[in-house]
């Protein structure tokens, strides 16, 4: 599947878009998104991004489902 790297990066940076949504749109697994971010970003930017998303419930739909059950993503 073809995808625009800039669009994937934008979605990965967004706090409101989960890895599951990225997979649905582009077919990329979480590990593939992480790898793409590592290759595409400057080292410091990648480190900042990883600190933000590591363990963050909003990046994992299963973890947010119970907290945000009134929203349909």
Residue range of the domain that includes 38 = 5-65
CA distance linking residue 64 with residue 72, whole number of Å: 11
When divided into structural domains, the chain yields a total of 1
- Split at pLDDT 50, 70, 90, the class of 1 is low
Residue 70 lies in a domain: no
Residue 16 lies in a domain: yes
Q: At what angle do helices 19-26 and 30-40 cross, to 10 degrees?
A: 90
% of the chain with per-residue pLDDT over 90:
63
CA 70 centroid distance within chain? 21
Angle at 58 between CA 52 and CA 60, to 5 degrees: 100
Residue 73 lies in a domain: no
The Cβ of residue 48 has, within 10 Å, a number of other Cβ atoms equal to 12
Dump pLDDT digits (tens) for 37-69.
999 999 999 999 999 888 777 776 665 554 545
């Amino acid at each position: 599947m073809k995808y625009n790297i800039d669009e994937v990066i934008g979605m990965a940076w967004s706090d409101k878009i989960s890895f599951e949504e990225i997979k649905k749109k582009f077919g990329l697994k979480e590990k593939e998104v992480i790898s793409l971010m590592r290759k595409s970003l400057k080292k410091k930017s990648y480190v900042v991004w990883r600190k933000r998303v590591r363990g963050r419930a909003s990046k994992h739909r299963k973890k947010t489902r119970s907290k945000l059950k009134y929203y349909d993503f």
